[in-house]
Amino acid sequence: MTGLRERQKGQRRQLIADAALELFKAHGFVATTLEQIANQAGVSAPTVVNYFGGKQEILLALLKEPDEQAMREARSRLDENSDPVDALCELEGLMTTYQLRAMPASLWRELAPFLFTGELSETFHPWNLAVVEETKALLLHFQEQGVLRESIDLEVAATVFNQYANMAFIRLATEATPDREAHARHMRSVLSLMCHGMLKG
């Protein structure tokens, strides 16, 4: 019975998130209200609040899922023959692919000014920390393989990766016609430079 109840809660949560995304795409994030989301999902506004808390938390949930998928895939492909530049490029590339699929450019353009400062940035802070932790784990793999220097501050390296990847993604996502190939080439050059300073001599 508990399993069934949990599945039903998960389905309702997904229903609310899907309704919110549909409205965000149609009307924009700022213009969409909790009441509209509730109506679209066929639930009450207090139910939306109970499941998520507010619009920002719904948006966070919508953006976490693609990154979680990307991190799972990148982790599953990591082995003793992996190269740190290739691994970082793959992680960044998967996150970029899934985030571009998750939301249209119009919504990214609306959100861009709020993602690095202010209340929305604070809402996203725990998730940025999760990406940093995943990147640290990836870099630790290469440190333990003897590829990266032991003296590397993995926290700093992972934070630099996350912050730069975020800025580069927003630039790409808000382009009139996102140039994925140019973005991938740019990120590989940046990550190659970053890794060059961490490699053992």
What residue ranges do the domains of the chain occupy?
1-53, 55-196
Neighbours of 118 (CB within 10 A): 10
Does domain 55-196 fall into CATH 1.10.357.10?
yes
- Identical topology for domains 1-53 and 55-196: no
pLDDT in tens, the chain (201 residues): 567 788 888 899 999 999 999 999 999 999 999 999 999 999 999 999 999 999 999 999 999 999 999 999 999 999 888 999 999 999 999 999 999 999 988 899 999 888 888 888 888 888 899 999 999 999 999 999 999 999 999 999 999 999 999 999 999 999 988 899 999 999 999 999 999 888 876
Neighbours of 53 (CB within 10 A): 12
Class of 1-53 per CATH? mainly alpha
Residue of 120, 105, 115 whose CA lies nearest to 162:
115
What does the alpha-carbon distance between residue 80 and residue 88 come to, in Å, rounded to a whole number?
15
The pLDDT of residue 6 = 84
* Full-model pTM: 0.89
What does the alpha-carbon distance between residue 89 and residue 185 come to, in Å, rounded to a whole number?
10
What does the alpha-carbon distance between residue 78 and residue 138 come to, in Å, rounded to a whole number?
8
